[in-house]
Amino acid sequence: MENTYYNPADLKKFGNITELQPEMGRKFFDYYGEVFKEGALTEREKALIALAVSHAVQCPYCIDSYTSDCLEKGADENQMMEAVHVAAAIKGGAALVHGVQMMNKIKDLTM
Amino acid sequence: MPIPVKSLKAQQHQFANPAYQLEVLQHAGTEEGDFPHFGAKLQEHQLYPLQPTGTTILQVNVGKMCNQTCRHCHVDAGPDRKEIMTRATMQLCLDALAKSPQLTTVDLTGGAPEMNPDFRWFVEQLSGMGRQVIVRCNLTIILANPKYHDLPEFFKKHQVQVVSSLPYFSASRTDAQRGDGVFEKSIKALQMLNVVGYGQEGGGLELNLVYNPSGAFLPASQRSLEAEFKRRLLGAYGVVFNSLFCITNLPISRYLDYLIESGNYSSYMEKLVTAFNPEAAANVMCRNTISVGWDGALYDCDFNQMLELKVQPGTPQHIRDFDLGQLDQREIVLNQHCYGCTAGAGSSCGGSTT
């Protein structure tokens, strides 16, 4: 084991996960590749969504990958930061909306 | 990082030396070892030795002088570069063209080709011979001095195809690569070209833009980015153009210096090697282009020219000895920078190759 949990060099070894479970791994990567192909959404739009989700799930490998990918797909810095704000808004909103649950409980417990 | 105003040559920088650049390229690699030689990679795909498929384009570098010092420039061009093609060498190019009707297109590049004092004379002669002339215009030259303000009219008169770099549709990304204020001036120049009729669909005056990444990453899909550029430039500035050419930055000269300085060299080379595409390799531009240096020397492409890798020994080395029959039999000179033209969708002076 490394002394840190994350090593940037591990990113390019992602494909090695198929070594311990080839069939599931292969199916996952086939699916992954299919998802990011241009469809109803452009490749650039999908890269921006992936960048936002990467921040929401706070995955450093994904942030590394999709920052590069967004640049390579022609997204600009403003679009990328707006995507991160979308993630932040949803994450923040998801925390705050539970404030309603808290308020309901306060109402239950107080006179 | 601010853009230096001096060329690497004027700074006496080690990357001004082609032999040193080739030495660095030879030892590109990762912890797992050096990358395979480009020739060996072609051999794996039955493409070695690489030979011309029939040369139709003469690309002439009329000099290294430029009004800009772009961070990625493979020519190391700038205001301090004095290497300029003479009218006598241009005449040798015209003589070569006269005996080679297969060369239907002449692609003029630099530096800023318009800064060569015989540029207009050369274009007039080429146009008189009925050849399609392409000028790689950096746009800002049109505004650099009143004597250049009529270039759009001049280009129009000779039906010149204008190809211009605009690395992005925003000022920050463009200026980071090409210098402060370049984006604003480029837009103004594009508007001047549009006014005389350039870039209008079906209008016959072709204006093509070149996108190359402002950093250590590969270019986007040409089709997708072209649509985005058209939407953004029309919406924000009323600018129209015909096609967008996506070009990969090759790891030589100033861009090589940038890669090393920014710590991106190995990962960028790895990206290029990993993205090797045999289809792109089969369509590289050196198979239909010959490049002429400011002093008349012959090269397989403008990148080999800057690395001082002349065409194969035993074939004509100078434009005065031009013989297309012999040159079309040559083996193209390869090195590790060639991975830049074969990555992903491929890259050439006309954009993607697949």
Both structure tokens of A55:
């921040």
Overall average pLDDT of the A93-101 stretch: 97
| Chain A residues whose beta carbon lies within 8 Å of the beta carbon of residue B219 | 72
B217 to A43: CB separation less than 8 angstroms, yes or no: no
Specify whether the backbone of A16 is left (phi greater than 0), alpha (psi in -120 to 50) or beta.
Answer: alpha
- The number of residues in chain B equals 354
Confidence of residue A1 (pLDDT cuts 50, 70, 90): low
The residue among B212, B346, B186, B189 whose CA lies nearest residue B279 is B346
A77 to B220: CB separation less than 8 angstroms, yes or no: no
B224 to A68: CB separation less than 8 angstroms, yes or no: no
A73 to B221: CB separation less than 8 angstroms, yes or no: yes
Q: How many helices (H) and strands (E) does chain A have?
A: 4, 0
Query: What are the beta bridge partners of residue B243?
Result: B208
**Which amino acid makes up residue B63?**
G
Of A73, A77, A78, the CB nearest to B220: A73
Residue percentage of chain A with pLDDT more than 70: 98
Burial of residue B67 (CB within 10 Å: 0-12, 13-18, 19+) is: buried
Spatial neighbors of B254 by CB under 8 A, at least 6 apart, are: B8, B15, B70, B71, B72, B73, B74, B76
A77 to B173: CB separation less than 8 angstroms, yes or no: yes
Domain A13-109 -> CATH class: mainly alpha
Phi, psi for residue B65 in degrees, rounded to 5? -75, 135
Q: Give the best residue of B177, B228, B229 to mutate against chain A (max A CB count within 10 A).
A: B228
Determine the Cα–Cα distance for residues B125 and B351; give it in Å rounded to an integer.
27
**Is it the case that residue A5 has pLDDT exceeding 90?**
no
Spatial neighbors of A27 by CB under 8 A, at least 6 apart, are: none
Confidence of residue A3 (pLDDT cuts 50, 70, 90): confident
Cβ of B111: how many Cβ atoms within 10 Å? 29
Sequential pLDDT tens for chain B (354 residues)? 667 789 999 999 999 999 999 999 988 776 667 889 999 999 999 999 999 999 999 999 999 999 999 999 999 999 999 999 999 999 999 999 999 999 999 999 999 999 999 999 999 999 999 999 999 999 999 999 999 999 999 999 999 999 999 989 989 889 999 999 999 999 999 999 999 999 999 999 999 999 999 999 999 889 989 999 999 999 999 999 999 999 999 999 999 999 999 999 999 999 999 999 999 999 999 999 999 999 999 999 999 999 999 999 999 999 999 999 999 999 999 999 999 999 999 999 999 999
**Which residues of B lie inside 8 Å of A (Cβ-Cβ)?**
168-170, 172-173, 211, 213, 215, 217-221, 224-225, 228
**pLDDT attached to residue A33:** 96
| Chain B residues whose beta carbon lies within 8 Å of the beta carbon of residue A74 | 211, 220-221, 224-225, 228
| Chain B residues whose beta carbon lies within 8 Å of the beta carbon of residue A77 | 172-173
Phi, psi for residue B203 in degrees, rounded to 5? -85, -15
Determine the Cα–Cα distance for residues B216 and B267; give it in Å rounded to an integer.
9
**Which residues of A lie inside 8 Å of B (Cβ-Cβ)?**
38, 42-44, 68, 71-74, 76-78
Stated as kind and residue range, the H or E segment containing A111 is none
CA-to-CA dists, residue B100 to B97, B159, B328, angstroms: 5, 21, 12
Q: Give the best residue of A45, A73, A81 to mutate against chain B (max B CB count within 10 A).
A: A73
Alpha helices (H) in chain B, listed in sequence order: 18-26, 38-44, 87-98, 119-128, 141-144, 151-157, 171-178, 182-195, 222-237, 253-261, 265-274, 278-282, 302-306, 324-327, 339-342
The CA-to-CA distance between both ends of chain B, in Å, stands at 34
**Which amino acid makes up residue B71?**
R
User: 3-state class of B210 per DSSP?
Assistant: strand
Q: Can you list the domains of chain B with their CATH numbers?
A: 14-342 (3.20.20)
| Chain A residues whose beta carbon lies within 8 Å of the beta carbon of residue B169 | 76
Cβ of B11: how many Cβ atoms within 10 Å? 15
Residue found by looking up tokens 């239907």 in the block: B104
CA-to-CA dists, residue B253 to A55, A85, B258, B353, angstroms: 36, 38, 9, 23
CB environment B125-151: b (16+ within 10 A), e (fewer)? bbbeeebbbbbbbbbbbbbbeeebeeb
Both structure tokens of B139:
């746009």
Query: What are the beta bridge partners of residue B297?
Result: B318
Which residue ranges make up each domain of chain A? 13-109
How far is the alpha carbon of A108 from chain B, nearest alpha carbon, in Å? 54
Of A38, A42, A72, the CB nearest to B217: A72
Q: Give the best residue of A72, A78, A79 to mutate against chain B (max B CB count within 10 A).
A: A72
